[in-house]
Structure 1
């Protein structure tokens, strides 16, 4: 049973990392290369869509890693799992405090109602997102190292 939980957790966290990496280094670059109006609409749609899914995904990933850390406490890899969980907590805190406020504004933007500083806000979100991606990659790395 624990092996199945380890595999499931690895897949859930790995897919989350992959999606967030793709947003940072593929999707947003594509949207930025589109005409400005299309890029604004694309980011707003992505913000609405992923903004609804990612909170559940982040919390689920954290809970799964915490369960593994508790179940394996005192065994090899437990410290790595605890550290991975701590990094996922950092990613959730970063999301709530830094990224979500910008996302909540930008997901309503259209070419007609975007604020004057929309590019600065977009760039700030991107910079925070790069850091968050690095944090969750580190968490995923620790998770996989703990389980192998």
Structure 2
């Protein structure tokens, strides 16, 4: 059971990290260089789409990681999984407190109705996202290491 859960956890968390890397280093930089109307529409659409999926993905990753820690209790896997779970919990809290408010505001912005500092707000979101990405990447590495301890 431990090997199966380790593979599932590594896969779910790894795919989430991959999506977030694509958002950070490909999608958002391209969108930010677009003219205002197109950029605002693309960010709003992406925010709505990922805003529906990512909460389940983040919480699911955390649940799988905690589950791995529980079923491997008393082993090195437990220690690594608990540290990973702590990092994932920080990423969820950071998302809710810092990133989601910016995202929710931006969902209503249009080419005709947006704040003057819209690019700065997106850049702030992107900087916070880089920090969150570093946190979930560290959590992924710990889970990958835990999976090799079987």
Partner residue, 2:111: 111
The structural deviation recorded for 1:40 is 1.2
CA distance in 1, matches of 2:15, 2:44: 22
Aligned residues: 148
Name the SS of the counterpart of 1:144 in structure 2: helix
CA distance in 2, matches of 1:33, 1:116: 16
1:54-113 C-alpha deviation (Å, 9 max, x unpaired): 001000000000000111111122211110000000000000000000000112211111
Q: TM-score, normalised by structure 2?
A: 0.95
Name the SS of the counterpart of 1:77 in structure 2: helix
Partner residue, 2:97: 97
Contact 2:3/2:147 (CA < 8 Å) preserved in 1? Answer: no
Structure 2 gap segments, 5+ residues each: none
CA distance in 2, matches of 1:84, 1:76: 12
Alignment of 1:35-50 (within 5 A): 35-50=35-50
Q: TM-score, normalised by structure 1?
A: 0.96
Name the SS of the counterpart of 1:111 in structure 2: coil
CA distance in 2, matches of 1:33, 1:18: 22
Deviates more, 1:5-14 or 1:57-66: 5-14
Partner residue, 1:26: 26
1:11-62 C-alpha deviation (Å, 9 max, x unpaired): 1100000001110000011112222221111111100100111001000000
Alignment of 1:13-92 (within 5 A): 13-92=13-92
CA distance in 1, matches of 2:25, 2:122: 14
CA distance in 1, matches of 2:77, 2:13: 17
Deviates more, 1:35-44 or 1:85-94: 35-44
CA distance in 2, matches of 1:62, 1:128: 20
Structure 1 gap segments, 5+ residues each: none
